[in-house]
A and B are shown apart, each in its own frame.
Chain A
Amino acid sequence: MPITVLIVDDEKDFREALCGRLRVRRFNVLAADSGEAALGVLREHPVDVVVLDVRMPGMSGIATTRAIKHSYPLVEIILLTGHGSLDASLEGMALGAFDYLLKPARIDELVYKVQDAYSRKTDQEEKIRRLQFSTDRRDSGE
């Protein structure tokens, strides 16, 4: 099953180019041009991994990270930014971002990160499923 990736970046050229590159690599790709728009997409579609720019007008990448983790805790977030900021990077990681990459990033590296993020998501889902299963078993008196 293809991995669903949501690209969130206010810069149109970059966003569209990255979407194209990831589609070639057989990812199922969605796009949004702002934090608010991203949350809108998440409401309508199941998403595995979000690739998010840190510096956006309006809702910042950090604020978006916080909001996504709050409502969709299993969705993994990769922060991809042109700005190397020590503070923003640690803040993003502490909020639960999977990773923080600097542009220009090699497409290979980004793909590996998306794959690893997806693995983590499925691991977490599996863990929850097993916990649920064993709880169910216990509850049903086995």
Chain B
Amino acid sequence: MAAFSRIAALVRSWASRLHTEAKDFDPAELATAQEDLRARYRALRLLLSANTKALGLMAEMEIAAAGDRPVDMAFIRARCTALVVSVYQMVRQLNAMADGRYASLFDSIHRVKEQLRLVLEERSRDADAPLVVPLQAVDRSIRGIVGAKMGHLGEIRNVLKLRVPDGFVVTARAQEMFFLENDLWPEIDRLLLAAPPEGAHELFALASRIRQTIIAAELPAEIRQAIEGAYDELSKEMGCAPTLAVRSSALDEDAVGASFAGQYHSVLNVRRENLAGAYREVVSSMYTAQAIEYRLQRGLRDDRNRMCVGCQVMIDARVGGVAYTGHPSDPEDRNVHISAAVGLPMAVVDGRSLTDTVVVSRAEPRSILRQTIASKTLQFVCDAEEGVERQEVPEQLKRSPALDAADALHLADQALRLEEHFGSPQDLEWALGRDGELFILQSRPMQQLMRVDRESTREEAGPPLVRGGLCASPGVAAGPVRWVRRDSDALAFSEGDVLVLPQPLPDFAALLSRAVAVVSEQGGIAGHLATVARELGLPALFAVEGAGALDEGKTVTVDADNLAIYAGRSERLLAGQVSKRSLASDSPVHRALTRVMEFIAPLNLLDPDAVSFRPENCVTLHDITRFCHEQAVRETFDVSRDSKFPRIASKQLHHKVRMQWWILDLDDGLADDVHGKYVRLEQINCAPFHALWEGMTVVPWEGPPAVDGRGLASVIFEATTNPALGTTVGPQQQQGNYFMISRQFMNLQARFGMHFCVVEALAGDRDEENYLTFTFKGGAADDTRREARARFIADLLEERGFAVIVHGDTTAARVAGLTRDNVLFQVKVIGYLLMHTRQLDMIMANPLTVERYRAKIRADLDDLPRTLGDKINVQDDGNRTRERRDNPREETP
């Protein structure tokens, strides 16, 4: 580093023109020059405000990237936009001050913007994919455009040649076109930003608003025609006008395994004229409360999620249900578990009524190992016109097996064939048509989790409150009981509650991500809610007849593995439980955040005095902010350009003696009656200036710390060999403090002995714009001592709430977003440190002396409020490093 920074050199040359007398010049021209400086200062203030905002946004994004708080793409997009605007503002103001000499920085911003856009945009790669694909042309290889569910069904139909209802798929490209033409993604972002779903109430309201927006949007004519055309083809082949089942088939480019649970919606028994409406309804199910929560917890990007929609002939089922080629919580049990209901299979998925269970052996010859015939009360049937209705099960069917033995065995056969083909246990949905024909409606990998037998700890837990039921999802958890019988109960559900339901209705799936466990009086292991509980790894105990004994609000421990619920928290049972999944650090949203941060945060331009500190070398947004800030301060100082007009003379501070303190008033920092070359302390109206002065003078400095022999020698040695510190420059000229001030603002470039530092502070009424930075480098002793001193000061500053970064021999500390009084207090701290750490280098090798000194400084600083007689609140918890106010926020409506 040169002995003087470029700024200090500029200022010295300018300060040496002190002797220009203002009265020799035209008052109008003088006024113009004064106004020019003020205008420069105002541009500087706008730039500083944008800088503080930009740094605050970067800090916010870094915290999101590092922490556990899940964020979504709307958050990232909003922060990136605000950042780009702030940086633009800085470049604009710098160019205003510098006559447009830095216009190339606008190009730099555009370059970064393009990079950000690539990461953030929603467009997928399949621009040429068809809008509709008939089922006979579908297999797994095109699941990228038809979604996993329909991809599998196409495979089952066309490769395995099992019976699957005929139909077609409306592809991912259609959904994308639908969203793009209606500008839905920005609108959804707006809704997500306006009402982040903190509680269950907000979540349901938000989901509803987004879904309404999608349903109300117009379906592009091209898509409508493709759907109706495909229907007409189907109808022609069948020789009649069938009604269709319109079902979701979601696709997430980045999370293939997670594309099943979390999103489901079907509209059943739909006529041709209502296909467009049913399509929009199914697409809108991407934004059910459950789906929003699901993506948020997993860090999945909603903008890369696509809803493909399967349209298939509606099977008016006589009997239907679900089958598993194994047991969801018992890997030892590899038999086929069938749940059967009268009428449409949705009765099983719905969880509302009791269903038959049949277990068929995997081992050949296949046989029925056991079955439970439920008292079936409700069924779902197709309405004659459209849609589905609930009916009572006819008396004669109530207590007889819904599925006869032959059909059960045949179903088990098909299920096992599916398992073999797909290579993993399957969870499938099936229906028997009126003609007795078996149809496969859906097949997906079965979620399998381990149950644990806690025999020993169970005994210690004492007698359970409630026993029995079915383990729908294994695990142990404890929390307060929260009964949810109606939608309004759902709104009051809180994080950490145990969800208790009369029936495991799919409607309440959105609550599962906030729950620690779920208990239901009815239901089986095969419904939607059970599936989602397993997906989330949440303990779930269903068909618990005695659940009525659970009192609202009382804490219980649910041991789903062992079919028991205990009063209170049983720590023994809870010990060793794996905690609930939290946001994976390599989730798609996190990856997007990490990628955008690459173009935002890294700082390449470190040293303002280096030759490389140029606009061409600005790569990231942080580089641009750094460059603009440094350059703007220089532009404010740079008075040597236009020599036609007199420069507003800086004043020399006279306090008992003429000091090496030079003051330039940028606006309103000096009293009106200051004429001539000198200014007295009381004529200075700058609050940060006085704070610095106070800090420096409040505790008398007792001279350099007593130096051990080695220390002093090292200083002398360095001084004689370093030409920059050579003897041609006398001690008087080495010292100097150059201030630019206004009432609220101060920038100080200072030399204190061998150290060079910059102190910049803004202390106004706008808390969020206030800040203080302290940068220092240099020192007289050798490198080791110099670094030790830098570290010493950095530690002290960090203790007092500064964010500190050390690059080489430069240390930079910053604090922001404080009230005026708090900023001024911190300036006093800096003043104190400036005075009392000057000659520390010399003693840095002696640990005992260092510790004594550190203790003394700490004590002095802790005492500072008392010493100064300040009555302000020193504690400003966590605000400084996070660069945000803690005060309650008033928002625009």
> Footprint of B on A, CB under 8 Å?
13-14, 17-18, 21, 55, 80, 82-87, 89-90, 93, 99-110, 112, 116, 119-120, 123, 126-127, 130, 134
Contacts of A107 in B (CB 8 A): 890-892
B542 CB, min distance to chain A CBs, angstroms:
41
A108 to B766, CA, bound (A): 9
Contacts of B626 in A (CB 8 A): none
* B893 and chain A: residue at smallest CB distance: A17
From B74, B88, B89, A84 is in contact (CB under 8 Å) with B74
Contacts of B187 in A (CB 8 A): 83
A126 to B31, CA, bound (A): 13
Q: Given the interface contacts A55-B186, A102-B81, A104-B193, does A87 sit within 8 Å of B89 by beta carbon?
A: no
From B49, B80, B892, A106 is in contact (CB under 8 Å) with B892
Chain A CB within 8 A of B110 CB: yes
Chain A CB within 8 A of B116 CB: yes
A103 to B78, CA, bound (A): 9
* B121 and chain A: residue at smallest CB distance: A86
A84 to B893, CA, bound (A): 18
* B77 and chain A: residue at smallest CB distance: A84
A90 to B109, CA, bound (A): 9
Q: Is the CB of B81 within 8 A of A18?
A: no
Q: Is the CB of B117 within 8 A of A84?
A: no
Contacts of A106 in B (CB 8 A): 889-892
From B82, B92, B889, B890, A102 is in contact (CB under 8 Å) with B82
Q: Is the CB of A130 within 8 A of B35?
A: yes
Q: Is the CB of A103 within 8 A of B85?
A: no
* A100 and chain B: residue at smallest CB distance: B85
Nearest 7 interchain pairs by C-beta:
A17-B893, A82-B190, A84-B81, A84-B78, A83-B186, A84-B77, A100-B85
Q: What is the predominant secondary structure among interface residues of chain B facing chain A?
A: helix
Q: Is the CB of B892 within 8 A of A100?
A: no
Q: Is the CB of B77 within 8 A of A103?
A: no
A120 to B49, CA, bound (A): 14
* B82 and chain A: residue at smallest CB distance: A102
A105 to B116, CA, bound (A): 23
Q: Is the CB of B85 within 8 A of A93?
A: yes
Q: Given the interface contacts A104-B891, A106-B891, A109-B768, does A84 sit within 8 Å of B39 by beta carbon?
A: no
Q: Mark B485-518, 1 if CB is under 8 A from A, else 0.
A: 0000000000000000000000000000000000
A141 to B766, CA, bound (A): 47
A13 to B893, CA, bound (A): 9
A34 to B50, CA, bound (A): 29
> Footprint of A on B, CB under 8 Å?
28, 32, 35, 39, 42, 46, 49, 74, 77-78, 80-82, 84-85, 88-89, 92, 109-110, 113, 116-117, 120, 183, 186-187, 189-190, 193-194, 766, 768-769, 889-893
B297 CB, min distance to chain A CBs, angstroms:
23
Q: Is the CB of B85 within 8 A of A104?
A: no
Apart from A86-B81, A90-B113, A103-B190, what 7 extra A-B contacts exist at CB < 8 Å?
Answer: A84-B78, A89-B81, A103-B193, A103-B892, A105-B891, A116-B46, A120-B46
A65 to B879, CA, bound (A): 37
Q: Is the CB of B189 within 8 A of A84?
A: yes
A105 CB, min distance to chain B CBs, angstroms:
5
Q: Given the interface contacts A89-B84, A123-B39, does A84 sit within 8 Å of B193 by beta carbon?
A: yes
* A131 and chain B: residue at smallest CB distance: B32
Q: Is the CB of A18 within 8 A of B190?
A: no
Q: Given the interface contacts A84-B74, A86-B117, A93-B92, does A100 sit within 8 Å of B81 by beta carbon?
A: yes
From A101, A108, A134, B890 is in contact (CB under 8 Å) with A108
Q: Is the CB of B194 within 8 A of A112?
A: no
B885 CB, min distance to chain A CBs, angstroms:
9
* A22 and chain B: residue at smallest CB distance: B892
Contacts of B88 in A (CB 8 A): 90, 93
27 contacts between A and B (CB under 8 A): A14-B893, A21-B893, A83-B190, A84-B78, A84-B189, A85-B81, A85-B186, A86-B84, A87-B113, A93-B89, A99-B85, A99-B89, A102-B78, A103-B892, A104-B194, A107-B890, A108-B768, A110-B892, A112-B766, A112-B769, A119-B42, A120-B42, A120-B46, A123-B39, A123-B42, A130-B32, A134-B28
A103 to B190, CA, bound (A): 8
A70 CB, min distance to chain B CBs, angstroms:
19
A1 to B26, CA, bound (A): 32
Q: Is the CB of B189 within 8 A of A89?
A: no
A105 to B768, CA, bound (A): 13
* B887 and chain A: residue at smallest CB distance: A108
Contacts of A86 in B (CB 8 A): 77, 80-81, 84, 113, 116-117, 120
A17 to B85, CA, bound (A): 26
A102 to B77, CA, bound (A): 11
Contacts of B889 in A (CB 8 A): 106
A123 to B85, CA, bound (A): 22
Interface centre among B42, B189, B893 (most CB of A within 10 A): B893
A18 to B847, CA, bound (A): 61
* A127 and chain B: residue at smallest CB distance: B39
Contacts of A85 in B (CB 8 A): 81, 186
B769 CB, min distance to chain A CBs, angstroms:
8
Contacts of A101 in B (CB 8 A): 82
A80 to B81, CA, bound (A): 12
Contacts of A89 in B (CB 8 A): 81, 84-85
A109 to B52, CA, bound (A): 13
B72 CB, min distance to chain A CBs, angstroms:
12
Contacts of A126 in B (CB 8 A): 35
A137 CB, min distance to chain B CBs, angstroms:
8
A106 to B768, CA, bound (A): 11
B432 CB, min distance to chain A CBs, angstroms:
50
Contacts of B116 in A (CB 8 A): 86
From A17, A21, A84, B82 is in contact (CB under 8 Å) with A84
Interface centre among A84, A86, A126, A134 (most CB of B within 10 A): A84
